[in-house]
Amino acid sequence: MRKCGTVQRGSSGRYRHQRLITPLKSRRWCLNLRARFNELGFRWGFEVSSFRLSRVPAIDTALKLVAAAVAMFAFVFVVMVPLYNVLCDALGINGKTSSQAYTAIPAAVDESREVTVQFVAINNDGMPWSFAPTTRVMRVHPGAANGVVFAAENPTDQNMVAQAIPSISPSRAAAYFHKTECFCFDQQVLAARDGAEMPLQFIVDQALPRDIHTITLSYTLFDVTDTVTDGLAAR
């Protein structure tokens, strides 16, 4: 028979058993250890087989989920964002206004109320122009034609091209703010050290909800010089 251990007598007179680690026990210990690693590693997508790591279906599933997430985000930015912008331009929602001139329809002016219109000019990061409205606040009657002028100056030594992007607040007022003429419809070119006055003609629709008493029209001015230059060079 195989010996599993030896028996020795201690100093106290009692017998004690000294265990021996046999090759069979060592193998069982290794198998138990590998089973424990398999139990823990399964949660992370790996299994231990002869002390080597190998991929299991959990990894493939994770990769498929990541690929699906990337495809979903690509769909949102490539397809949904342009569609969203088209809808905003058409419906005047989320503060976006039309990029085309409004054809005024003869209608009676609503003199029973006034609406405050505020004008704000903002330079985008890196835009060196001075840009501001000559009139910051106006009180207008819905249905009446109104006008305001924005002043711009290019203080640099280079010719530059700018594009103004409008935004309306509150956003639901955008559908009732009609621009019959606007410098934002076209890119604005200023020579070095040159300045210009840029007109805006607008009408606040008579159908503007009566709970809207103030409309803020903001313009953000962007430097598009490089974009225009690259486009001309490509022709």
The closest alpha carbon to 29, from 42, 63, 37, belongs to 37
Looking at residue 14, what is its pLDDT?
A: 52
* Residue pair 174/93 in contact by the 8 Å Cβ criterion: yes
**76-111 per-residue burial string, b: 16 or more CB within 10 A, e: under 16:** eeeeeeeeeeeebeeebeebbbbeeebeeeeeeebe
Looking at residue 63, what is its pLDDT?
A: 73
- Over range 166-183, report the average pLDDT: 95
* Residue pair 206/107 in contact by the 8 Å Cβ criterion: yes
* Residue pair 217/118 in contact by the 8 Å Cβ criterion: yes
Looking at residue 108, what is its pLDDT?
A: 86
Looking at residue 169, what is its pLDDT?
A: 96
Q: Does the reported pTM lie above 0.75?
A: no
Q: Which of 82-96, 99-113, 117-131 has the highest mean pLDDT?
A: 117-131
Report how far residue 214's alpha carbon sits from residue 203's, in angstroms, rounded to the nearest whole number.
Answer: 14
Contacts of 164 (CB under 8 A, 6+ apart): 150, 183, 184, 188, 198, 219, 220, 221, 222
Mean pLDDT over each residue of the chain, to the nearest integer: 76
Domains and CATH numbers, the chain: 115-226 (2.60.370.10)
Residue 55 has pLDDT above 70, yes or no: no
> CA triplet 106, 89, 125: central angle to 5 degrees?
120
